[in-house]
Amino acid sequence: MKSFYRLEMLVLGLFALGLLIGVALYFIDSSAFSTYVEEDGVVEWTTVVALVSCAAINILRFFRLRKQKTKLFLGILLAASLALLFGVGEELSWGQRIFKFESGDFFNTYNTEKEVNLHNLQFGPVKLDKLIFSLLLSILICVYIFALPVLYRLLKIVKQWVDDLAIPVLQNYQLIAFGALIIAIGVIHDMRKWELLEMCAVLLLLVILLDPLNKEIYMRPQKTENGKVSE
């Protein structure tokens, strides 16, 4: 029986609490909601910590499994870690607001927020935030959340492909949590809600990495008494 106090349950509780606070503040006190989701506030830093934690899990798995798994499997773990750390850099504008350095001519010209990051770049009518970080990423996330778990369970070839690529698959309770997140964000009519969505989505990603449906792919083979290796 799973312990309620396992780490993934604690993170799931943080997700629920963070989301509940955000929705409650939106309806009760708009000023407090603004403070809650403001830049460099509690929501943004929670997102950063969660992203770093996700990257750390993948890096730890890389070193634990480096002698047991294929180069492709290990490469995906490293690539995912780099992508997550890239997200940390983008979230913090690569330390600009922490270390107080100037943006430079390029970012002052093409960045809508005059910050050192890529997701706010705009070239003419094309804004990278909408094209890549909103549209394309949203499509990939929807496929990952809603289609992949079904296909993984139904098709052996998909299961094999997903396991070989070190992709963690959602469990049912995680899918329900994502559904609750979508509903909750839908009742908030404030553009700052996307910061809340980002934080909660990353916390759920951390839960998925901690407790995926296919967790056995991240386990090291165990030797039996007769010396043979078993999964």
Please write the tens of the pLDDT for every residue from 25-72.
999 999 999 999 998 899 999 999 999 999 999 999 999 999 999 999
Dist. CA 21–CA 31, nearest whole Å:
13
Q: What is the mean pLDDT of the chain?
A: 89
Contacts of 192 (CB under 8 A, 6+ apart): 33, 34, 37, 38
Q: Where are the alpha helices (DSSP H) in the chain?
A: 7-28, 30-37, 42-65, 71-91, 96-99, 105-110, 128-130, 137-142, 148-154, 156-164, 172-186, 193-210
The count of residues in the chain is: 231
Single pTM value for the model: 0.88
Dist. CA 66–CA 60, nearest whole Å:
10
What backbone phi and psi angles, to 5 degrees, belong to 142?
-65, -40
Sign of CA dihedral 164, 167, 173, 179: negative
What backbone phi and psi angles, to 5 degrees, belong to 223?
-85, 135
Q: What is the mean pLDDT of residues 194-217?
A: 96
Percent of the chain's residues with pLDDT above 70: 90
Task: Name the pLDDT band for 93 (thresholds 50, 70, 90).
Answer: confident
Tens-place pLDDT, residues 149-189? 999 999 999 999 999 999 999 999 999 999 999 999 999 99
